[in-house]
Structure 1
Amino acid sequence: MPMDLSPIDKAKFVAAKRAVDYVEDGMRVGLGTGSTAAWMVRCLGEIIREEGLNITGVPTSSRTADLARNVGINVISLDEAKWLDLTIDGADEFDADLNLIKGGGGALLQEKIVATASDRMIVIADVAKEVAALGAFPLPVEVIPFGWQTSKALIEETLVNMDVLGQNTTLRMNGDTPFVTDEGNYILDLHLRRISNARQLSLVMNQVPGVVENGLFLDICDVVVIGGGDGTVEVRDINEGTVEQDKMDFTESDNLFADL
């Protein structure tokens, strides 16, 4: 393991390294978006180069697609793949039931479509992402640009009747202009602090005119791989009801870390 990485990056790295053990030759794999998922993509590229692993990747964003091609992964669209064996992605938060908040990287729509088109979803995360209740991380909601302020007002009105601690809603920005997703949409971040009924909130949010999708991933994740800054890894499989713990020790790979 590279010694110059911060503890949080070491945690992301070991989680990603452990998660790629689920990838087998010939698989169609959904490739997530975000800093932890980027480690996973690099790890897959290393295995392809060094061991000849033959997989097809379906990226969840243009950023991930670019990285995947750069490390040697054959990339196709979800329409071409039709169905996936596995998706590996990060999360902004997860709870004991492996429900998630995602979308901090702005790719929640493609991430949710790809994850639900997979036989299994593996989530990779550092230990800080586990929470007792979802909501500390702002909930992203993707909205179309047309009438976004109306959608925002309707969301804020709806939140009054929801069991949440906060109701502040902000438009995600990219400098002085709104952040724009790969689909050309905007993202509203809901600062809720705590979500007591995620299922109800998810259903209600998606009924607001102009809302495309929200960042609550419920009953989608099958396995979470949790990395620690000291190299420890915990793997929780919600379907099998198992918890495995290990400690990983890796030497630095010139190929894997050359672009960092």
Structure 2
Amino acid sequence: MNQDQLKHLVGRAALDYVPAGQIIGVGTGSTVDCFIDALAARIAETGLAVAGAVSSSERSTQRLQRHGIHVLDAGEVTGLGVYIDGADEIDGQGCMVKGGGAALTREKIVADLAERFVCIADESKLVQTLGAFPLPVEIIPMAAAQLTRRFAALGGQATLRAGVLTDNGGHILDVRGLSITDPLAFETEVNQWPGVVTVGVFARHRAKVCLLGEMRGGAGGVRTLTF
């Protein structure tokens, strides 16, 4: 079983966390694509009713709508029971690095609406310390040079992600070389820097559950981590 098959496995496992008749939060990325497809198949097979979804990206919105799943604007809801999304990294406390797909700001907005964040990921995303994956930071362009210097002072090397605009029209800095030993303190600090829209550390909005696809003796399985 390869990495793509593990993504399909955890995408299906996440269906157990979908509350019938409610609006759910849906994230972004290849693993979430698997969840959306599994959700649509379950609706077709069993008649599972969901009242709709709040999506964190145009990409996921389009996929949901192609399956006939109603998408609501975040401003139309006051809360969500669950938000299901992937991660680029997740540690043993449920803190994550997210934003490889450049949707981190909208992901954090939707996560803030939800009572519970369910992370779906394959085993390669589980780490002891965040930072091996380049940290995405959505920024205001005029602050790029100053923010690059500030990350350098922390030991990080920030580079502008070429040719990428977020759904909000922002730019992305990818920061390499960090070791984020205190994710909540790091997120709190960087979010205060002028020019930062959102830093891709999810500590305040950490996962409550992680469904981790992993190999077990040549076969795939799902391990459930709770935080």
User: Structure 1-normalised TM-score?
Assistant: 0.82
Determine the C-alpha separation between the residues in 1 that align with 2:120 and 2:6: 10
Contact 1:98 1:219 in 2 (8 A): no
RMSD of aligned alpha carbons: 1.4
Contact 2:90 2:125 in 1 (8 A): yes
Partner of 2:176: 191
Find out whether 1:154 has 2:146 as its counterpart: yes
Q: CA deviation at 1:13?
A: 0.8
Instruction: Please give the alpha-carbon distance, in whole angstroms, between the structure 2 residues aligned to 1:81 and 1:116.
Output: 12
Equivalent in the alignment of 1:139: 135
What is the one-letter code of the residue matched to 2:186?
L
Q: Which among 189, 193, 205 is matched to residue 204 of structure 1?
A: 189
Q: Distance in 1 between matches of 2:113 and 2:43?
A: 24
- d(CA) in 2 for partners of 1:28 and 1:128? 30
1:156 alignment partner AA:
T
Matching residue within 15, 18, 33 for 2:28: 33
Q: Deviations over 1:59-97 (max 9, x none)?
A: 100000000011121111111122111110000000000
Which residue number corresponds to residue 8 of structure 1?
3
For residue 172 of structure 1, what is the aligned residue in structure 2?
A: 161
Residues in 2 aligned to 1:7 and 1:37: alpha-carbon distance in whole angstroms:
17
Larger Rg: 1
Q: Which amino acid aligns with 1:159?
A: F
* Distance in 2 separating the partners of 1:196 and 1:34: 26
Which of 33, 50, 53 aligns to 2:48? It is 53
In 2, the alpha carbon distance for the partners of 1:227 and 1:182 equals: 29
Aligned match of 1:226:
212
AA of the residue aligned to 1:224:
C
- The one-letter amino acid paired with 1:184 is G
Name the SS of the counterpart of 2:20 in structure 1: coil
Whether the 8 Å CA contact 1:31–1:87 is kept in 2: the answer is yes
Paired residues of 1:10 and 1:228 also in contact (CA < 8 A): no
CA distance in 2 between counterparts of 1:109 and 1:219 reads 14
Q: Which stretches of structure 1, 4 residues or more, deviate above 4 A after TM superposition?
A: none
Q: Cα deviation per residue 1:88-134 (whole Å; 9 max; x = unaligned)?
A: 00000000001000000110000001011101110000000001100
CA distance in 1 between counterparts of 2:113 and 2:89 reads 21
C-alpha distance in structure 1 between counterparts of 2:37 and 2:131, whole Å: 30
Give the stretch that moved more between structures: 98-107 or 223-232.
223-232
SS across alignment from 1:85: strand
Which runs of no fewer than 5 residues in structure 2 stay unpaired? none
Shift of 1:152: 2.5
Question: Structure 1 regions of 5+ residues with no counterpart?
Answer: 1-5, 239-260
For residue 231 of structure 1, give the secondary structure of its aligned residue in structure 2: strand
Instruction: Tell me how far 1:54 sits from its aligned partner.
Output: 1.5
